[in-house]
């Protein structure tokens, strides 16, 4: 009997998943007995798919590979599952991430960041589907106790910092609007967010200042990373202004594996754990990654099967450290298909931070909803709540020993103060080395970063005070 996703519960799928794993192990000796297995992973998969063209899970339909669909995308799953079971399994991974990490509550208003790519396209599709199901449940229930979460879509427009492609860009925007309007009802608001909106200025002035800011940075990787930080700032701003309570990113396992190595080679091993969890609530609007356990090849295959349209938005070739890491991970993945998974699993064992869970006060909105959670991921984090300092530029938590202690004024008025507040990685690859360029950079910074620098200064100062508080005399306190 085929397992219909509407009636399937997580336990059933997980049991099936485990069973599939065991069968996969058993099938290897079979392939070996046939003499087809010569140690080559691809040959092994092909032999396996030829000898087992029936879906491992439902035992009824042909596997995706056997049906000849998407031949170029054959991977483990395509050779083992039929289209329906593959899709159900992927959606289950998404939904399990959401429920076990309290990502979305009924009272939430969710903003899905959509870049046009496959990952964010699937995130958009699944969030929309989840909302549609919740809406149907709401209408079917008698008491209608729980509301249905809202969904909006945002695209960050980085035209102002790219070279050209204006006309193609407009076509891409129209395509995105069409995609959003074709989602399951209710109608989603689609917001095009210029990245220069991080400035509270007239658009043309913001564009000009942003260009100047980027141009003060020499390092290619530094430019890329600053743009990524600004992208998040723009999303945060538009979410706050439009009443959204969560931001959904389409980051998948493959993207996270690259990030693990990118952070490692930039000396950001300390803060890496913060970036790769399901939930990141260091921001005002918490950021969640429901596709964290899905691989890019699975996502590509799903887009193919369901004809989910993606949009090509030119973002330039990544030629610095980030590009090198992407090439490296791609090479490793070709050599061993489980490499990305291993990388993310290794990094997943690093200790998360206290903000890597939904803040407690949010739960007060839905006490009944909390009781309905089937299971929650128990996240061991450190509980040193008040001692974390964050880099004003990239917002990563900073290791205490990396902080330089100074007794400057309370306000981060000078660029040198800014430098001392930043993490070592940003100091090297984003902040200009020359003092005059640094001053220029500082003057071009958007307001949220300046505000964060001021906050960091105050926090730093009060932390220093805590260290010496037991030695202070009472009149000194009065004086302060």
Partner 1 sequence: MESAAPAAKPKGRLCVICNERRAALKRPKNLQPICRECFYAAFEDEIHRVIVDNNIFKPGERIAIGASGGKGITGYRDDSLETVKRNEIQYGLALKVVSYKDLYGWTMDEIVKLIGLKNNCTFCGVFRRQALDRGAALLKVDKLVTGHNADDIAETVLLNILRGDIARLSRCTSIITGEDGPIPRCKPFKYTYEKEIVMYAYFKKLDYFSTECIYSPNAYRGFAREFIKDLERIRPRGILDIIKSGEDFRISTSTKMPELGTCERCGYISSQKWCKACVLLDGLNRGLPKLGIGRRRELNNSKNANQENGTKNLQSKQCGSLDF
Report the interface residues with partner 1, using CB under 8 A: 25, 28-29, 32-33, 39, 219, 221, 260-261, 263-270, 272-273, 320-321, 324, 328, 331-332, 335-336, 339, 342-343, 345-347, 349-351, 380, 382, 399, 424-425, 428-429, 433
Q: Which of 175, 219 has the CB closer to partner 1? A: 219
Q: Which of 47, 239 has the CB closer to partner 1? A: 47
What is the spatial distance between Cα 408 and Cα 398, in angstroms, rounded to a whole number?
Answer: 19
State in angstroms the smallest separation of the CB of 79 from partner 1: 17
Q: Which of 25, 467 has the CB closer to partner 1? A: 25
What is the spatial distance between Cα 462 and Cα 410, in angstroms, rounded to a whole number?
Answer: 11
State in angstroms the smallest separation of the CB of 314 from partner 1: 23
Q: Which of 32, 132 has the CB closer to partner 1? A: 32
Q: Which of 57, 266 has the CB closer to partner 1? A: 266
State in angstroms the smallest separation of the CB of 30 from partner 1: 10
Q: Which of 198, 260 has the CB closer to partner 1? A: 260
**C-beta of residue 265 within 8 angstroms of C-beta of residue 343:** no
Q: Which of 342, 409 has the CB closer to partner 1? A: 342
State in angstroms the smallest separation of the CB of 391 from partner 1: 14
State in angstroms the smallest separation of the CB of 377 from partner 1: 16
What is the spatial distance between Cα 369 and Cα 278, in angstroms, rounded to a whole number?
Answer: 19
Q: Which of 22, 410 has the CB closer to partner 1? A: 22
State in angstroms the smallest separation of the CB of 205 from partner 1: 34
State in angstroms the smallest separation of the CB of 336 from partner 1: 6
State in angstroms the smallest separation of the CB of 281 from partner 1: 17
């Amino acid at each position: 009997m085929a397992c219909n996703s509407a009636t399937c519960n997580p336990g059933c799928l997980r049991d099936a998943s485990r069973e599939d794993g065991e069968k996969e192990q058993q099938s290897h000796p079979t392939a070996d007995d046939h003499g087809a297995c010569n140690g080559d992973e691809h040959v092994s998969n092909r032999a396996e798919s030829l000898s087992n063209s029936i879906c491992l899970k439902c035992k009824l339909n042909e596997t995706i590979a056997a049906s000849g669909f998407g031949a170029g995308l054959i991977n483990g799953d395509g050779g083992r599952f039929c289209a329906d079971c593959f899709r159900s399994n992927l959606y289950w991974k998404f939904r399990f991430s959401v429920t076990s990490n309290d990502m979305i509550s009924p009272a939430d208003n969710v903003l899905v960041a959509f870049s046009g790519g496959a990952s964010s396209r699937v995130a958009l599709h699944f969030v929309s589907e989840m909302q549609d199901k919740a809406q149907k449940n709401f209408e079917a229930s008698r008491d209608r106790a729980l509301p249905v979460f809202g969904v909006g879509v945002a695209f960050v427009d980085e035209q102002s910092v790219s070279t050209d492609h204006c006309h193609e860009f407009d076509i891409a925007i129209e395509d995105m609007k069409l995609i959003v309007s074709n989602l399951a009802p209710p109608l989603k608001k689609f917001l095009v967010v210029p990245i220069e909106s991080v400035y509270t200025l007239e658009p043309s002035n913001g564009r000009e200042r942003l260009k100047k800011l980027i141009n003060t940075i020499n390092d290619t990787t530094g430019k890329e990373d600053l743009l990524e930080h600004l992208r998040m700032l723009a999303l945060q701003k538009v979410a706050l202004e439009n009443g959204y309570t969560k931001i959904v990113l389409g980051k998948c396992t493959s993207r996270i594996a690259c990030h693990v190595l990118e952070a490692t080679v930039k000396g950001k091993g300390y803060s890496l754990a913060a970036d790769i969890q399901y939930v990141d609530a260091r921001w005002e609007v918490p950021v969640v990654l429901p596709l964290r356990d899905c691989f890019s090849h699975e996502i590509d295959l799903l887009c193919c099967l369901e004809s989910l349209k993606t949009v090509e938005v030119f973002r330039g070739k990544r030629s610095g450290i980030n590009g090198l890491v992407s090439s490296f991970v791609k090479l490793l993945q070709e050599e061993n298909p489980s490499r990305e998974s291993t990388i993310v699993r290794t990094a997943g064992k690093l200790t998360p931070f206290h903000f890597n869970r939904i803040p407690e006060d949010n739960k007060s909105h839905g006490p009944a909803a909390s009781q309905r959670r089937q299971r929650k991921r128990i996240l061991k984090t450190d509980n040193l709540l008040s001692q974390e300092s964050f880099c004003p530029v990239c917002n990563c938590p900073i290791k205490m020993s990396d902080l330089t202690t100074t007794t400057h004024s309370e306000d981060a008025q000078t660029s040198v103060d800014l430098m001392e507040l930043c993490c070592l990685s940003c100091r090297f690859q984003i902040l200009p080395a020359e003092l005059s360029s640094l001053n220029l950079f500082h003057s071009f910074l958007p307001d949220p970063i300046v505000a964060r620098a001021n906050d960091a200064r105050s926090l730093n100062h009060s932390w220093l005070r805590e260290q010496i508080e037991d030695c202070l005399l009472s009149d000194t306190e009065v004086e302060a």
